[in-house]
Amino acid sequence: MTDRLLNQAEHVMGKLRRHPRVEYQELVAGEEQLVQLRHSIPLLVPFGDAEYHELLPVLDWDHRLPSQVAILRVFAYYSEATYLAGDAEFTARREMIEQQDVFPEFDVSDFVGLTADEVYEAEVDEQGAVLQFRLASNWRRDIDLESGRTAVNLVRQSEDYRLLTEEMNNRPEHLGDLEAVCWTPPCESAYPTWTIDVWFLTELNDAVGQGRSFLVDLEEHRVVGVREFMVRSG
């Protein structure tokens, strides 16, 4: 682990909070599980020129008894003001959950929706391993017009796109053109900086779409990754 990743992982573990039903079931509580959790937390990189003021990590529950997994949510804050708001909301939500948590067969709330500048979530298995980590902030789809156009043009000029379109010379027009879909953080792409995800639909059957996703680094002005995607419409 790099020093940067190790320091952030140690910080997350030191600040870790737990849903009452995660505590009750003693999920991810053993020494080996905690070590595995620490080593499998990916490095979070703030968006743009921002810097993290604080992280608020929560082991949330999966609304099942007994639980099959825990849900790791990491709420990231750029300023003290947003952190204090999120921290106060956590305290209020925790008090509400404790009031609801009378009968184990009844559902209770979780910690989804706390104020934060960035929100990440992932399942944590019974061994303590963090599975697919993803950005859950709604703003990830807010791409300004200029950035979107630049990303699409860079894909259109790339060798990967040229080869793909040559393979699909009879592609139906109703599948549309290249589309800048969302910002993608390093914890999802394994690329060191944030990228824009540009989609090119290649197939649409029974409301299930498949295609090729191009990751674009706007600073380097190039496509830095290509992968397949599947999405359901409606």
Could you report the per-residue pLDDT of 156-215, keeping only the tens digit for each? 999 999 999 998 888 888 889 999 999 999 999 999 999 999 999 998 887 788 899 999
Domain match, 122 and 148 both:
no
Half-sphere exposure of 96 (CA within 13 A, CB side): 11
Give the CATH number for residue 225: 3.10.450
Domain match, 93 and 29 both:
yes
Q: Given CA atoms 110, 112, 115, 121 in this order, what sign does their dihedral have? A: positive
* CA geometry: angle 70, 57, 138, nearest 5 deg: 90
DSSP secondary structure letter of residue 43: P
* pTM of the predicted structure, to 2 decimals: 0.92
pLDDT tens for 87-129 read 999 999 999 999 998 887 789 999 999 999 999 999 999 999 9
Domain match, 80 and 144 both:
no
Domain match, 184 and 209 both:
yes
Q: Given CA atoms 116, 150, 190, 202 in this order, what sign does their dihedral have? A: positive
d(CA 208, CA 64): 28
The helix (run of H) or strand (run of E) holding residue 12 is helix 3-15
Domain match, 33 and 74 both:
yes
**How many domains is the chain built from?**
2
